[in-house]
Amino acid sequence: MRRLLKYLKPYTLMIILAMVLLFIQANADLALPDYLSRIVNNGIQQNGIEDAVAVALRKSTLDKLTLFMGPDDQDLVLDSYRLIESGSPQGEEYLGEYPALAEESIYVLKDLEPDREEQLNAILGKAFVAYSGIKQRAENPDANIPLGEGFGFDPSMIPAGMDIFQALANMPASMREVLASRMEEAFASLGDSMINQMAVGAVKAEYQALGMDVSQVQRNYILRIGGIMLLISLLGGAATIAVGFLASKTAAGAARDIREAVFEKVESFTSAEFSKFSTASLITRSTNDVTQVQRVIFMFIRIVLFAPILGIGGVIRAVGKSANMWWLIAVAVVVLVSLIVVVFMIAVPKFRIMQDLIDRLNLITRENLSGMMVIRAFNKQDDELVRFDKANRDLTDTGLFVARVMVTMMPLMMLLMNGLSLAIIWVGAHQVAESALQVGDMMAFMQYAMQIVMSFLMMTMMFIFLPRAAVSGDRIADVLETEIIIQDPEHPREFPEHFRGEIRFEKVSFRYPDAESDVIHEIDLTAPPGQTTAFIGSTGCGKSTVINLIPRFYDVTRGRVLVDGVDVREVRQSDLRDKIGYVPQQGSLFSGTIESNLLYADPEASAETVREALEIAQASDFVFGSEEGLDSAISQGGTNVSGGQRQRLAIARALVKKPPIFIFDDSFSALDFKTDSALRRQLKRKTGDSTVLIVTQRVATVKNADQIIVLEEGRVVGKGTHHELLKTCKTYQEIAYSQLSEEELA
């Protein structure tokens, strides 16, 4: 995969934007359990009262609370509240909200900074707990109130009729110091969360004493927090949609660029490079393999960047809710990672096998479709069905094996997640019973634990798909990084301005890549412009190989091929091939119409040029004999026309180009002798100034050639005209006498 990372560079900005949105999405997901905890803890259990910082207090209550504060804390508290006198004009504004203001003065909280409010909460929390505990102890001497006993204060020692708080106010300084010390010891054993929860009860009682609607306070709090949760959910949803869009666009764009690069690379392949990859494999690499890479790019942006944020954030927040239950998450993660490793070791080796099996299936399918007539002719349908069925079953069995391994993940994950939930409830319930944890915090911890497990699960899916995509990426990179043997020169030469088209071979030898010996040996010949040079010889003697050296389909191993005195290796391939009209052994047509196939050689060609080319190629009769004419449809590969018609259209396509050099590589093999003869006469008449090279096994085709080159085992064994070779070349004589009668040879 890393070998394809350069294709993601154009989408760097989109990936960065997706990362920012993922951070927003993850934080939105992480924030929701905390707000749920606040609704349960504060909204339901504490009636919407968040902490000990009361929005309003009766003056008598605040006076009693200050008894449990030091001088500095008293100043801070009094400075944070504003006194509203009963019966004052200012009091009229607050009377509706605080009915108790009609009977006594109250303190109303000022607008405070968050830091100062936090300080007040710590001070007032302890004061409210102490005030509430001693008050309950005084009102119910027989009640079991441990806090009152912890203060070392016995209400029975207060004289009858004396207020307990008045007695505390009049207590000697030494006794108050002892009381303060014991209070701190008691608070230390409770913890901040429990102090806040106990203080809230006292604040609620104070609100009721003020005449406030406590149920309205609760409703307002739940609606406010619920509204925030809704906004966070909408923000997270919008971020999710945006990330999905960006990830899809990036993955699809990168896949498009990779497919284009593969196609462009394959177009530059020479025959040597094509020998390294089968056609079926190249199709699989540019389709199925690219799809695998596209999928993993999407998953990488959508999951791999999101899961760590969610997992790390979940751990931090979960520990913040309950540091005593971290081990539950650790155990779940260890089990999950162990499961991932097992699945990884089992499934990953099968992915490369699957891609190879897809190659095999495509190969068999392609062979069956292209060779259907041969299969039917030999009644091999059943054998081919067995062959296809085996490849299909091998792929199916491997796919099913991987699918079965993958499908076990989900039930195991659900078992793990449900088991983790039960463990959290079990342990958390005991902590709630011991007043060490609130119910809302336990619920939030459970949700964070699920988020952590889900983040690992997402990473698991990524780690499972990544190896298969890595295999596909390597297969694609193997194509893209294939070194092209035939390259344009760094400093190309130009052909002469007055191009003639003379072709000369100088001591040319050639061997195929990785071959042990040459197939062409020391060939010297010249093909002059305005003449027809024919190559003839037995099958496998090297005829096609020789002429393939001219357009640089291969490069010579030794020697030189010169076109107008310029070595073909010293010019651009495009400049060289612009001068050549090439017709291969198998005339290949493209899906479209006859006209589109002919204009493939020259899109700007005129109608007269097209018609003339068809007439020379002896194709005008069957083209214009149909109603559609040039608009007649051609199927892929030209399978809807006969072999002879296909060859004639391929010849016409080369003629439309009007190049100075024509190469016909056994291009008349499917033509009958009459059509062959008529075509060659027209060709000679219309291409008189061009260099024409013909490869054939027919003596009748080359009888009238200006020069005939006879090849045997890669060597030139004869050179001359038809009549000269009949006298001097034994190989040519054998070929000629095997094909033609004495009268025809004359």
Would you say domain 275-480 falls under CATH 3.30.70.100? Answer: no
pLDDT value for 147: 47
Give the distance between the most distant pair of CA atoms in the chain.
154
Q: Distance from CA of residue 707 to its chain's centroid? A: 60
Task: Please state the pTM of the whole predicted model.
Answer: 0.72
Please tell me whether residue 233 adopts helix, strand or coil conformation: helix
Average pLDDT on 188-205 reads 80
Tokens of 125: 């929390």
Averaged pLDDT score across all residues of the chain? 85
pLDDT value for 149: 45
Q: Dihedral, CA atoms, 242, 245, 249, 255, nearest 10 degrees?
A: 120
Q: Are 140 and 133 in contact (CB under 8 A)?
A: no
How would residue 176 be classed by pLDDT, with cut points 50, 70 and 90?
Answer: low
pLDDT value for 269: 84
Q: Are 561 and 567 in contact (CB under 8 A)?
A: yes
| C-alpha–C-alpha distance, residues 116 and 122, integer Å | 10
Average pLDDT on 205-233 reads 91
Say which residues have a Cβ less than 8 Å from residue 102's Cβ, sequence separation at least 6.
86, 87, 95
Tokens of 214: 């406590």
pLDDT tens per residue, range 234-249 = 999 999 999 999 999 9
Q: Dihedral, CA atoms, 238, 242, 243, 249, nearest 10 degrees?
A: 160
| C-alpha–C-alpha distance, residues 546 and 438, integer Å | 89
Question: Could you give phi then psi for residue 58, rounded to 5 degrees?
Answer: -65, 150
Domain positions in the chain are: 52-223, 275-480
| C-alpha–C-alpha distance, residues 170 and 155, integer Å | 14
| C-alpha–C-alpha distance, residues 138 and 156, integer Å | 8
* Range with the poorest average pLDDT among 109-113, 148-152, 224-228, 331-335: 148-152
Pairing of strands 691-696, 558-563: unpaired
Q: Is pLDDT above 80 for 698?
A: yes
| C-alpha–C-alpha distance, residues 371 and 587, integer Å | 17
Q: Is pLDDT above 80 for 112?
A: yes
Residue 543 or 515, more confident: 543
Q: Are 592 and 628 in contact (CB under 8 A)?
A: no
Q: Is pLDDT above 80 for 307?
A: yes
Average pLDDT on 319-341 reads 80
pLDDT value for 225: 92
pLDDT value for 411: 83
| C-alpha–C-alpha distance, residues 528 and 230, integer Å | 85
Q: Is pLDDT above 90 for 127?
A: no
Q: Is pLDDT above 60 for 58?
A: yes
What DSSP state is assigned to residue 35? Answer: H
Sign of CA dihedral 676, 529, 711, 746: positive
Residue 248 or 350, more confident: 248
pLDDT tens per residue, range 35-44 = 988 898 888 8
Element (H, E) at 645: helix 643-657
pLDDT value for 350: 81
pLDDT tens per residue, range 650-694 = 989 999 988 999 999 888 877 877 888 888 888 888 777 889 999
